Amino acid sequence: MDIEKRILDYFNHFHTHPEVSWKEVETTKKLAEIMTELGVKHHTFPDVTGLIAEIGEGAEVVAVRADIDALWQEVGGKLQANHSCGHDANMAMVLGALLHLKDETLTKRVRFIFQPAEELGNGSLSMIERGAIDEVTHLYGVHLRPIEELPFGQVTPALHHGSGIFLRGKITGVDAHGARPHQGKNAIDVIAAIHQFVKSIYFSPFESYSAKLTHIQTGGDSLNIIPGSAHFAMDVRSQSNDLMKELQQKIADGLHAIATLYDVEISFQWTDYTPAAEVSATAMQIADAAIRQTLGDRATAPPVHTTGADDFHFYTIKKPELHAAMIGIGADLTPGLHHPDMSFNHEALAIGARVLADTIKTT
């Protein structure tokens, strides 16, 4: 069996059949077909997408996770599902690790978690609720990295993701005629104030963080009406969970103050929280040893700290005794993750699959 060709075939299929969060129906069916073809025990769920498979025998359970959803974004002028975050690659690498391991004599069980809805930051919770990490002592994830973090051929044993959360808000003021602005409460003025406010938030420069408006919707087709209402959203990130709490409080205080200043109502809620990484030193050391064994010392990169977020870290938040780490694969990925035209060196897929398989065997 040509494992590298199978990995590339898997990638090409998932790349050309992307599905967004919670709608990965055909993706789940395809994964089930692959497991049936390989003779691997697996099960799906009646109420959510995703799949769990298992090979090997023994009391100990080691797991590996792949996220399966795509983003919804404009590509070449057309809105569509798109695997610009590389989850198609993650699935292919994890399936490749399964191919490397399935005919091995294993003294432990190896569980493969194909998880939905990572892009919404809560798909991992659905898998946790359905027993994905029951009995699991060690958990590994894998993700391609942009070229500014890792070049092709370099692999890191741990990604230290930051924390991320969205804020969705609504401004309720008063509409007015364009000739009589004094009679209204202009939501656009409030939006401008919020924009300036979030840019004036400062914490220690030794820890990364950001808050920025990512969505604004206000007004209609009539250009002589000053709009009183608006919807807005923010993307908020920090490198640690403690700083995220401070950042959320600062933003909430600021929005309340702006509402008072402009005499409007600002309602908001926080959604889709993703925690910062809680990396296990034990899991990181095991992955580091496996990378050195597979690729050599020169290809083994130090841990990477990145401002991106990943709901993989809910697994350790919900089960603190779990030894978990996410392995980062250098792939010369450009222009960047979530860019509609993201591309990478496909030879990285085989590298990631081998590293994952050796990490699991080393555990």
Give 46-105 pLDDT, tens digit per residue: 999 999 999 999 999 999 999 999 999 999 999 999 999 999 999 999 999 999 999 999
Give the Å distances, CA to CA, from 8 to 13, 92, 286, 344, 355: 9, 7, 27, 13, 16
- pLDDT score for 308: 86
Those residues of the chain that have pLDDT short of 50 are none
Find out whether 242 and 203 touch, Cβ atoms under 8 Å. Answer: no
One-letter amino acid at 58 equals G
pLDDT of residue 174: 98
Where would I find the H helices in the chain? 3-16, 25-38, 87-101, 123-129, 187-198, 241-262, 281-295, 314-318, 347-362
Residue at token pair 């769920």: 45
pLDDT for position 121: 85
Strands 136-146 and 323-333 come out as parallel
Query: Are 133 and 321 a contacting pair, CB within 8 Å?
Result: no
Name the residue among 22, 20, 44, 19 with its Cα closest to residue 31. 44
Please spell the DSSP secondary structure of 72-132, one letter per residue.
Answer: EEEETTEEEEE-TTSHHHHHHHHHHHHHHHTTS--SSEEEEEEES-GGGT-HHHHHHHTTT
Whole-number pLDDT of residue 122 = 86
Kindly provide the b/e burial profile for residues 202-241, where b requires at least 16 CB atoms within 10 angstroms of the residue's own CB: eeeeeebbbbebeebebbeeeeeebbbbbebebbbbbbbb
Strand, helix or coil for residue 55 = strand
